């Protein structure tokens, strides 16, 4: 292992150096077994395919608190005398961690990076200061910003929503944060800007005018888009669907809902989707399903990688380790041509009981290896297995003749009936689900 290093005056993860790739035979918990950043797969390196990002909030702000008790982790960067000193130390720790892990990107909310303040001037000053600090650290380490966002859900003023709040004063106050977070994202070269509709939804339909609230959301997003473009933001705006939690019902329920919303309001030219695995499962879909819906609409932007717990019905934000999930996700990503400007952000947290600094490394190593294996297997399935051929063959009756004419919109109902009269009873054709599932396992085991 290479020698240890730090980006500021202090080393926050002593005894841990750059995480090496050691291959599958290694039992070193602090080494990659599959993720080999420079390894080429189909003309691109693993790093270029996967575009990993570390989430600032879970990894450096979340101390493990839950509704039943306070945090379990004492962070050495949380001990300075002033809020700004603590924010600076946290930034040093974050960039040290990200650099040691060898991840190219990070993501933040405005108030992860900088201390929040009710006073608008103070809030803006804090963020501007931390943008200078983060900019210097980005330069020093080469780490880049995948996306920025504003936290419009934690402060009590947002308890009834931000852009969808029934009180215009709150909607306007939310604009202060979105404007500042957009300024920060542009200043730091961020490639995307995310809206996760934290409390954009309702708790009680009796007191809610859904139609009005959603119209306000569309106006707010259009205003943010226009402002972003006016200050030179050329990246992608992303909406992150989630069906519930914290609200009883959230307006950005799932991919299909968000695709419809963006199209209805003419926002689909600037906005795409950021799909989070655990949000997809909360909405009753699989991760791959919500990715596929976004991809089919041409709106797959980025991923928040994590996993839920099959026994729990909430957003547990565990690190992704399930290889079926990562193969399924990477099949969709590869078939749709890759991430483009998007990436794979670990919106995941170590468990409350995981209190060693190494746990954060191992969590990310496991997630990165799981997605690297997902990439390998998905690529092999697409390039070398019969999968694509089987699937194409299943639809071959639409490739020529009457089937192709129907697909082009040239056959009416009467012509279809004529065809059926001549063709007779259709042959029974197996869907062969088991053969497909066995094929996936066969490549996973190789
Ligand atoms: C919460 C969301 C959040 C967004 C960013 O469930 O996943 O972390 O990704 O605001
Ligand atoms: Ni997320
Ligand atoms: Ni989430």
Q: Residue 229's domain is classified under what CATH number?
A: 3.20.20.150
Q: Is 105 in the pocket of ligand 1 (CB under 6 A)?
A: no
Please give the average per-residue pLDDT across 413-426, as a whole number: 98
| Distance in Å, CA 428 to ligand 3 centroid | 43
Residue nearest to atom 10 of ligand 1 (CA): 196
- Structural domain contains residue 392: no
Query: Is 165 part of any domain?
Result: yes
CA distance 87 to 134: 10
User: For ligand 1, is residue 304 a contact (CB within 6 Å)?
Assistant: yes
For residue 4, is pLDDT > 70?
no
The answer to the question of residue 348 being in a domain is: yes
71 and 167, same domain (yes or no): yes
pLDDT at 2 over 90: no
* Residue ranges of E strands in 299-444: 300-305, 344-346
Tell me the CA distances in angstroms from 46 to 43, 190, 263, 385, 414, one per residue in order.
10, 21, 33, 20, 52
Q: Which domain holds residue 415?
A: 400-444
pTM of the model: 0.97
**Shared-domain flag, residues 189 and 269:** yes
**148 occurs within a structural domain:** yes
Residues 214 and 322 in one domain: yes
Number of domains in the chain: 2
Q: Is 216 a catalytic residue?
A: no
Residue 118: inside a domain, yes or no? yes
- Beta carbon of 240 within 6 Å of any ligand 1 atom: yes
| Same domain? 377 vs 408 | no
Average pLDDT over residues 53-82: 97
Compute, in angstroms, the gap from residue 171 CA to the centroid of ligand 1: 20
Q: What is the largest CA-CA distance in the chain?
A: 84
pLDDT at 118: 97
Q: Would you say residue 35 lies in a domain?
A: no
pLDDT for res 6: 86
Residue 112 falls in the annotated catalytic set = yes
Q: 266 and 404: one domain?
A: no
Pairing of strands 249-250, 201-202: antiparallel
Domain identity same for 406 and 271: no
In a domain, 298, yes or no: yes
Q: What percent of the chain has pLDDT over 90?
A: 98
Residue 60 DSSP one-character state: I
Residue 6 lies in a domain: no
């Amino acid at each position: 292992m290479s020698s240890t290093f730090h980006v500021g005056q202090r080393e926050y993860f002593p005894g841990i150096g750059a995480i090496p790739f050691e291959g599958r035979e290694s039992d070193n918990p602090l080494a990659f077994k599959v993720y080999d950043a420079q390894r080429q797969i189909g003309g691109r390196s693993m790093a270029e395919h996967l575009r990993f990002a570390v989430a600032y909030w879970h990894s450096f702000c979340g101390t493990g608190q839950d509704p039943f008790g306070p945090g379990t982790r004492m962070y050495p960067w949380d001990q300075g005398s002033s809020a700004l000193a603590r924010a600076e130390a946290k930034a040093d720790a974050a960039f040290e961690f990200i650099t040691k892990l060898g991840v190219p990107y990070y993501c933040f909310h405005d108030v992860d990076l900088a201390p929040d303040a009710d006073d608008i001037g103070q809030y803006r000053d804090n963020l501007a200061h931390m943008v200078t600090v983060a900019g210097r650290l980005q330069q020093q380490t080469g780490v880049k910003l995948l996306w920025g966002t504003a936290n419009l859900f934690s402060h009590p003023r947002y308890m009834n929503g931000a852009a969808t709040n029934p009180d215009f004063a709150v909607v306007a106050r939310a604009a202060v944060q979105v404007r500042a977070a957009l300024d920060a994202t542009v200043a730091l070269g961020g490639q995307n800007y995310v809206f996760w509709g934290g409390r954009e939804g309702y708790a009680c339909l009796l007191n809610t005018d859904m139609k009005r609230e959603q119209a306000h959301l569309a106006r707010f997003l259009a205003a943010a888009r226009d402002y972003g473009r006016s200050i030179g933001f050329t990246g992608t705006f992303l909406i992150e669907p989630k069906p519930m939690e914290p609200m009883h019902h959230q307006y950005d329920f799932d991919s299909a809902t968000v695709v419809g919303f963006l199209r209805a309001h003419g926002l689909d030219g600037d906005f795409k989707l950021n799909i989070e695995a655990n949000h997809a499962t909360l909405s009753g879909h699989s991760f791959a399903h919500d990715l596929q819906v976004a991809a089919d609409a041409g709106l797959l932007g980025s991923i928040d990688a994590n996993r839920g717990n099959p026994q729990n019905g909430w957003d547990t934000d565990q690190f992704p380790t399930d290889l079926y999930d990562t193969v399924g996700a990477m099949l969709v990503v590869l078939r749709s041509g890759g991430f483009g400007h998007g990436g794979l952000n670990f919106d995941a947290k170590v468990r409350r009981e995981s209190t060693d600094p190494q746990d954060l490394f191992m969590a990310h190593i496991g997630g990165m290896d799981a997605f690297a294996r997902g990439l390998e297997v998905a690529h092999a399935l697409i390039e070398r297995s019969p999968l694509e051929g089987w699937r194409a063959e299943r639809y071959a009756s639409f490739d020529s003749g009457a089937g192709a004419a129907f697909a082009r919109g040239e056959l009416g109902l009467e012509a279809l009936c004529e065809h059926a009269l001549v063709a007779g009873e259709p042959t029974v054709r197996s869907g062969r689900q088991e053969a497909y599932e066995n094929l996936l396992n066969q490549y996973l085991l190789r």
